[in-house]
Chain A
Amino acid sequence: MNSINSQDEVYKRMVKAFSVNASKEIFNLQEYKERQDELVTRIVQTFTTLQIETILFNNFSLLKQHVYIYNYAGVLPANYLTNHPYIKSSTKVNNNHTIYNLIFPTTFDFFNRGTNSVNSIDFLIPVQIHQKGTKLLVFINILERNVASLISDKVVAVNRDVNDDTILNSFVESTIHHNVQLTKCDLNKGIKKLWADDEVDAFKVKFKKDKSTSMEIMDEDKLLKRDMLVVYNELIKTPLIQTNFRVLKQNNLINYFVVDPSKGIFYFSVYPQHQSGINDLIDLVLSNN
């Protein structure tokens, strides 16, 4: 089991976070017609770990990811996060915007039926944090690895030690230490403005009513505001919970996204097509919030 957790193997699994097309583009390997396994092997053999990390963080917006948006009250010191155990690099974009790049190690434990023993497999989770004005935006790569597909024996009872909450808690703890208060950013206003302007329309929506939580899932390619205006007019006055949107106007953003405006969380579970599409969409929501 040692070889499966060698540095090369762990980095290969991290690079697999990109789509095959994105990997070819960002590592400049367009001329190779290889499948993903061969392509990631070529990448770890061609590039150093530092180069891989740099390319990964420069292209973070092409990853599937969850984005948590916080307001913070207080003053974050300049060295905030630079002492974090998993910090890799940071970049000051301007006086108002600093980007921190972190890689969280995580271990999946599983029972191997072939050897009748408990084994473990290591992964790396890239995380990017933008400290922007009075907002903290935490971008966490979705780690959706199927352990069974990586092990030749049958595996059962897979457990992982790090999830989004553990990652987020590591920042919350350090803000408490700095006497800074983090609160979830309510995005209802910004999302509803884009919806009112027909920038986006929903194909699934969950919202709070007086005495219940209601959900509408649209059939076929129907959209809620376009095809059920009466319901839209009702729910637009209520707090939105997890809602799935299609982007209608700006074609350089992303096609679809899921957002929980009341919790300040975006979910991007489909590979983004455009470089910085995710960041531009979030900026658009925040500028209308």
Chain B
Amino acid sequence: MLKNLLKNKAKIIEETNPDKIYVENIRSFFNIPTKWAKYLCELAVRQNIFRKRYGVLCKNSDCNRIIEVFNSQDGIPEEVDCYICATEGKEHIFKKDDLDVIEFYQLNDVKK
């Protein structure tokens, strides 16, 4: 499967943003169960093909954007501020523990 991932790397780059690869992108690309796709992504991290990132999601249901991205869960500060919600006068400063975190992966050999 990992060989398959490497073989299809060019196609993945073409079809998805190599800076933001979600497990669901891999699942639908290979048409495999989510559990396998997750395993494949973690394997790719161990093989240094992917690196894992943690995106903090805004708590406001009509926003839900990724406010900021971190290299590890520990790197997330105690408070996170969504400046988009601030411009709309909505609640915008959230406690770390109240926020959902979305995991995604980035291709390691992509120059930013």
Contact = CB atoms under 8 A, between A and B. Distances in A.
B84 to A, nearest CB: 5
A70 interface: no
A250 to B, nearest CB: 17
Interface of B: 55, 63-69, 83-84, 86-89
23 contacts: A64-B89, A144-B89, A203-B84, A204-B84, A217-B63, A217-B64, A217-B84, A218-B84, A219-B66, A220-B66, A220-B67, A220-B68, A220-B69, A244-B84, A256-B83, A256-B87, A258-B87, A258-B88, A267-B89, A269-B86, A269-B88, A269-B89, A270-B87
A241 B55 CA distance: 28
Given A220-B66, A270-B86, 18 more contacts: A64-B89, A144-B89, A204-B84, A217-B63, A217-B65, A217-B84, A218-B65, A219-B55, A219-B65, A220-B67, A220-B69, A244-B84, A244-B87, A244-B88, A256-B86, A258-B88, A269-B87, A269-B89
B88 A267 contact: yes
B55 to A, nearest CB: 7
A158 interface: no
Contact of A142 (B63, B64, B69, B89): B89
Interface in A235-255: 244
Interface of A: 64, 142, 144, 203-204, 217-220, 244, 256-258, 267, 269-270
Nearest to B20: A219
B8 to A, nearest CB: 24
A217 B84 CA distance: 9
Contacts of B89: 64, 142, 144, 267, 269
B62 to A, nearest CB: 9
A93 to B, nearest CB: 29
Nearest to A144: B89
Contacts of B63: 217
A29 B84 CA distance: 32
In the complex, which of the residues A204, A219, A220 has the most CB atoms of chain B within 10 Å of its own CB atom? A219
Contacts of B87: 244, 256-258, 267, 269-270
Contacts of B66: 219-220
A24 B28 CA distance: 58
